């Protein structure tokens, strides 16, 4: 299985080279060719999850005395399935979407390589291969973000992304440096065998949290994400949000649950709080953002927060020896990662379809698309229902499992956790409710109502490839929602390997009910809920039509007797957000509203202005950027020295290094 998936990754990298050679021609066939390796790799991953043996391989690549180690175990396999499914859907979508790309030479050559690099990250079994693949993944995704580099916001987003990616990789390099210790053996097998002190383990975990967390969008390292994810071409946005954030989660799981000794319990409250805080911060921002893709990117931050909260719970349970509960929390995290891949890719593709059809991504320029783009609108409805955690779709199934693992946590004995976990539960509940609000706004303003711009009024349905990709993901959302057992049972080998326990086999439960611990503790049967709702709705419709009347007449909207023809009288992005902005924005966003009301007799229009701040950007990022700027300006003098002084500098640094070395020894 490993050989097959390595070959798939290699094939994608070669496809990238071919595309570079073709220089943007033949985009369609290249995207179509990228589907196959994705499916192959996903299939190989499924094979390992289904019981195929763990493979290991050493290739004579990379550093001569090390070689490139690859390994496909259950954890890698699960994430390989994620990459395969997300990658295949995105490639299928791109066959249609890529045709409208204005400058394909800036997108096509980087795309297959990006997919291949993500696969190598999860297959890597030594630090060198891992870091090289990680860096290739970062750089190629950066190049893809920069595809439309003429817009100033794209360049700004790309720059910020590059800085954050560099910082993340640096943290990872330091982490692996600590992992390898003084022995200097960078293969994961040697790292696993080595013993790490508690202090070293905690430092490593913190560094990986920064390195992987910044890629996944964990606060406070999340600021690049909504900027970069929203300006990339839409199939790339889908991959970055749906898949690359999961690769980052893989990196965190790989190091903290495999490479180092189990962490002490007191690290988990921090992780739980960071996760839950990230979730609320992300979704509050999604509620006030006004561009479709930016809303989706902020919601990615929320979902990553939920996943990290569940990972934190799993870590706490594992530290206390509660293996069943740890397996429940970890299954919830992985299941949510899977679900998020499905619905977030779907939603980004839908936003891309809307962008393609109307050229707009601001909610204030959309509306009424349910009439113009019926299929996209229906598929997007599935997506927003899934992400808003409505039963019986998949988002609710994983959210339900997260809540069930919260309910198992009074078994934890430490007071710190007993105080943190209920607080985190409250934050998660808040985030779930806010997500529904954000997506009512997203869908209601984007697809319902009357068109707010001429472009939205003349939109045309997108082509078959894009619709097929979205339909596949929507079907995946429905399938994983109605039969979560199909996914959960595949997770058993992963949780067994990571926390030493697994859920009872779900497919064996009567009526395909989801029973995480025992039927008395709580169970949920999405299939029956769906059947009941369908039956109740059709019974109601039947009775009403039978006993009442079917008579229907179309007329102008009632609107309390004064229907207004201008579509601008509808609620817009700003007005819909106003109540929540007023309630939550005061502290989180420092929102201020200014009304400029002209005095009586003055004919100029009244104006309403909303001023909101990103406090993290202003209080944490800008001071650092200013400091770097100051240091750089003062160091600039070094550029204009004479040769004598340069030689003196070289000598001085040599001497000081020698002094340090002599003191060290």
CA dist., res. 368 & res. 132, Å (int): 47
DSSP state of 607: E
Task: Mark residue 389 as left, alpha or beta (left: phi above 0; alpha: psi -120 to 50; beta: remaining).
Answer: left
Q: Assess 555 for contact with another protein (CB under 8 A).
A: yes
Helix boundaries (H) for 146-260? 152-180, 188-193, 198-216, 224-231, 234-239, 245-254
> Among 148, 124, 125, which residue's Cα sits nearest to residue 136?
124
Where in 107-166 is the site for another protein (CB under 8 A)? none
Other beta carbons within 10 Å of 243:
26
* 560, 624, 632, 663: residue in contact with another protein (rule CB under 8 A): 560
Q: Closer to another protein by CB, 235 or 441: give it.
A: 441
Q: Closer to another protein by CB, 82 or 313: give it.
A: 313
Binding mask 482-521 for another protein (x = CB under 8 A): -------------------------------x-----xxx
Q: Closer to another protein by CB, 350 or 449: give it.
A: 449
Q: Closer to another protein by CB, 279 or 355: give it.
A: 279
User: In the bound complex, what is the minimum distance in angstroms from residue 392's beta carbon to another protein?
Assistant: 9
Q: Using an 8 Å Cβ cutoff, are 112 and 13 in contact?
A: yes
CA dist., res. 119 & res. 82, Å (int): 10
User: In the bound complex, what is the minimum distance in angstroms from residue 457's beta carbon to another protein?
Assistant: 11
User: In the bound complex, what is the minimum distance in angstroms from residue 540's beta carbon to another protein?
Assistant: 5
Q: Closer to another protein by CB, 108 or 482: give it.
A: 482
Extract the tokens encoding 16: 């990238």
Q: Closer to another protein by CB, 55 or 572: give it.
A: 572
Peptide bond into 464 cis (omega under 30): no
Other beta carbons within 10 Å of 407:
16
Identify which range of 181-189, 254-262, 353-361, 402-410 contacts another protein by CB under 8 A: 402-410
User: In the bound complex, what is the minimum distance in angstroms from residue 322's beta carbon to another protein?
Assistant: 15
Identify which range of 142-150, 422-430, 483-491, 596-604 contacts another protein by CB under 8 A: 422-430
* 88, 425, 488, 588: residue in contact with another protein (rule CB under 8 A): 425
User: In the bound complex, what is the minimum distance in angstroms from residue 486's beta carbon to another protein?
Assistant: 18
> Among 305, 118, 79, 284, which residue's Cα sits nearest to residue 209?
305
Q: Using an 8 Å Cβ cutoff, are 337 and 402 in contact?
A: no
* 150, 195, 553, 609: residue in contact with another protein (rule CB under 8 A): 553
* Count of residues engaged in binding another protein, rule: CB under 8 A: 88
* 230, 388, 405, 506: residue in contact with another protein (rule CB under 8 A): 388
Please name every residue paired with 594 in a beta bridge, in sequence order, or none if there are none. Answer: 609
Q: Closer to another protein by CB, 537 or 651: give it.
A: 537
Q: What are phi and psi of 58, to 5 degrees?
A: -120, 120
Element containing residue 380 per DSSP (H, E)? helix 374-387
User: In the bound complex, what is the minimum distance in angstroms from residue 590's beta carbon to another protein?
Assistant: 18
Match 């066939």 to its residue by tokens.
29
Q: Closer to another protein by CB, 197 or 538: give it.
A: 538
Q: Using an 8 Å Cβ cutoff, are 49 and 78 in contact?
A: yes
23 class by beta-carbon count within 10 Å (0-12 exposed, 13-18 middle, 19+ buried): exposed
Cα torsion 44, 50, 52, 53: sign: positive
CA dist., res. 220 & res. 305, Å (int): 11
Where in 353-382 is the site for another protein (CB under 8 A)? 367-368, 370-371, 381
User: In the bound complex, what is the minimum distance in angstroms from residue 234's beta carbon to another protein?
Assistant: 23
Element containing residue 56 per DSSP (H, E)? strand 55-59
Binding mask 523-552 for another protein (x = CB under 8 A): xxx--xx--xxx-xxx-xx--xx-xxx-xx
User: In the bound complex, what is the minimum distance in angstroms from residue 330's beta carbon to another protein?
Assistant: 19
Q: Where are the beta strands (DSSP E) in 65-130?
A: 68-72
Q: Using an 8 Å Cβ cutoff, are 168 and 215 in contact?
A: yes
Q: Closer to another protein by CB, 505 or 538: give it.
A: 538
User: In the bound complex, what is the minimum distance in angstroms from residue 396's beta carbon to another protein?
Assistant: 5
User: In the bound complex, what is the minimum distance in angstroms from residue 605's beta carbon to another protein?
Assistant: 18
Identify which range of 107-115, 167-175, 191-199, 383-391 contacts another protein by CB under 8 A: 383-391
665 class by beta-carbon count within 10 Å (0-12 exposed, 13-18 middle, 19+ buried): exposed
User: In the bound complex, what is the minimum distance in angstroms from residue 370's beta carbon to another protein?
Assistant: 5
Where in 564-623 is the site for another protein (CB under 8 A)? 564, 567, 569-571, 575-580, 582-583
Identify which range of 174-182, 198-206, 404-412, 620-628 contacts another protein by CB under 8 A: 404-412
Instruction: Give the side-chain half-sphere CA count within 13 A for 106.
Output: 14
Identify which range of 221-229, 301-309, 421-429, 603-611 contacts another protein by CB under 8 A: 421-429
Where in 435-464 is the site for another protein (CB under 8 A)? 436-437, 440-441, 443-445, 448-450
* 22, 163, 167, 429: residue in contact with another protein (rule CB under 8 A): 429
User: In the bound complex, what is the minimum distance in angstroms from residue 520's beta carbon to another protein?
Assistant: 6
Instruction: Give the side-chain half-sphere CA count within 13 A for 431.
Output: 31
Contacts of residue 115, defined as CB under 8 A and 6 or more positions apart, other chains included, come to 12, 34, 37, 38, 83, 87, 91, 239
Q: Closer to another protein by CB, 537 or 628: give it.
A: 537
> Among 2, 12, 15, which residue's Cα sits nearest to residue 68?
2
User: In the bound complex, what is the minimum distance in angstroms from residue 625's beta carbon to another protein?
Assistant: 34
Q: Closer to another protein by CB, 25 or 460: give it.
A: 460
* 32, 206, 390, 497: residue in contact with another protein (rule CB under 8 A): 390
Where in 206-245 is the site for another protein (CB under 8 A)? none
User: In the bound complex, what is the minimum distance in angstroms from residue 517's beta carbon to another protein?
Assistant: 10
CA dist., res. 217 & res. 278, Å (int): 8
User: In the bound complex, what is the minimum distance in angstroms from residue 379's beta carbon to another protein?
Assistant: 13
661 class by beta-carbon count within 10 Å (0-12 exposed, 13-18 middle, 19+ buried): exposed
* 39, 52, 375, 407: residue in contact with another protein (rule CB under 8 A): 407
User: In the bound complex, what is the minimum distance in angstroms from residue 421's beta carbon to another protein?
Assistant: 6
Q: Closer to another protein by CB, 373 or 467: give it.
A: 373
């Amino acid at each position: 299985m490993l050989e097959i998936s390595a070959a798939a990754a290699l094939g994608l990298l070669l496809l990238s080279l071919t595309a570079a050679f073709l220089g943007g021609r033949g985009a369609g066939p290249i995207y179509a060719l990228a589907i196959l390796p994705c499916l192959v790799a996903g299939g190989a991953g499924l094979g390992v999850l289904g019981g195929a043996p763990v493979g290991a391989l050493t290739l004579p690549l990379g550093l001569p005395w090390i070689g490139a180690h690859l390994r496909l175990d259950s954890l890698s396999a699960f994430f390989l399935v994620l990459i395969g499914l997300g990658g295949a859907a995105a490639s299928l979508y791109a066959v249609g979407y890529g045709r409208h790309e204005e400058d394909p030479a800036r997108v096509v050559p980087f795309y297959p390589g990006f997919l291949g690099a993500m696969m190598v990250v999860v297959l890597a079994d030594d630090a060198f291969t891992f870091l090289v693949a990680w860096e290739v993944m970062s750089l190629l995704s950066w190049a893809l973000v920069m595809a439309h580099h003429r817009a100033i916001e794209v360049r700004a987003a790309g720059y910020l992304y590059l800085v954050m990616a560099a910082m993340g990789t640096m943290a990872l390099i330091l982490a692996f440096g600590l992992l390898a210790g003084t022995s200097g053996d960078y293969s994961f097998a040697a790292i696993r065998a080595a013993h790490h002190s508690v202090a070293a383990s905690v430092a490593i975990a913190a560094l990986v949290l920064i390195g992987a967390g910044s890629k996944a969008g964990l606060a406070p390292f999340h600021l690049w994400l909504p900027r970069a994810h929203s300006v990339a071409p839409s199939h790339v946005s889908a991959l970055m949000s749906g898949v690359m954030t999961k690769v980052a989660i893989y990196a965190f799981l790989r190091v903290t649950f495999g490479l180092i000794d189990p962490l002490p319990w007191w690290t988990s409250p921090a992780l739980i709080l960071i996760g839950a805080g990230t979730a609320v911060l992300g979704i509050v921002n999604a509620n006030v953002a006004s561009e479709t893709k930016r809303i989706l990117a902020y919601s990615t931050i929320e979902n990553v927060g939920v996943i990290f909260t569940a990972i934190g719970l799993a870590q706490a349970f594992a530290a206390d020896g509660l293996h069943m509960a740890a397996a429940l929390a970890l299954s919830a995290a992985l299941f949510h990662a899977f679900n998020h891949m499905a619905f977030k890719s779907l939603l980004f593709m839908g936003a891309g379809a809307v962008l393609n059809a109307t050229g707009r991504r601001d909610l204030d320029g959309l509306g009424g698309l349910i009439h113009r783009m019926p299929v996209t609108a229906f598929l997007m409805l599935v997506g927003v229902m899934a992400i808003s955690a409505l039963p019986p779709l998949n988002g609710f199934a994983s959210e339900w499992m997260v809540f069930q693992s919260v309910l198992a946590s009074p078994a934890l004995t430490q007071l710190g956790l007993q105080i943190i976990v209920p607080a985190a539960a409250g934050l998660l509940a808040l985030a779930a409710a806010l997500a529904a609000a954000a997506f009512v706004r997203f869908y209601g303003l984007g697809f319902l109502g009357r068109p707010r711009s001429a472009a939205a009024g003349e939109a045309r349905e997108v082509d078959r490839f894009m619709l097929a990709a979205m339909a596949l993901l929507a079907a995946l959302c429905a399938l994983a929602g109605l039969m979560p057992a199909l996914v959960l049972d595949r997770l058993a080998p992963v949780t067994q390997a990571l926390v030493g326990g697994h859920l009872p086999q779900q497919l064996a439960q009567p009526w395909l009910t989801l029973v995480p611990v025992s039927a008395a503790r709580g169970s949920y049967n999405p299939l029956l809920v769906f059947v009941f709702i369908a039956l109740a709705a059709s019974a109601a419709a039947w009775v009403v039509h039978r006993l009442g009347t079917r008579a229907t007449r179309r007329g102008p909207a009632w609107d309390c007797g004064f229907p207004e023809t201008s579509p601008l009288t509808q609620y817009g992005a700003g007005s819909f957000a106003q109540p929540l902005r007023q309630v939550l924005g005061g502290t989180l966003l420092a929102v201020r509203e200014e009304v400029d009301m002209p005095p009586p007799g003055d004919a100029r229009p009244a104006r309403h202005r909303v001023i909101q701040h990103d406090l993290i950007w202003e209080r944490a990022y800008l001071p650092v950027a200013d400091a770097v700027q100051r240091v750089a300006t003062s160091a600039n003098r070094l550029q204009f020295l004479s040769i004598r002084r340069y030689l003196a500098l070289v000598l001085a640094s040599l001497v000081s290094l020698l002094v340090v070395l002599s003191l060290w020894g």
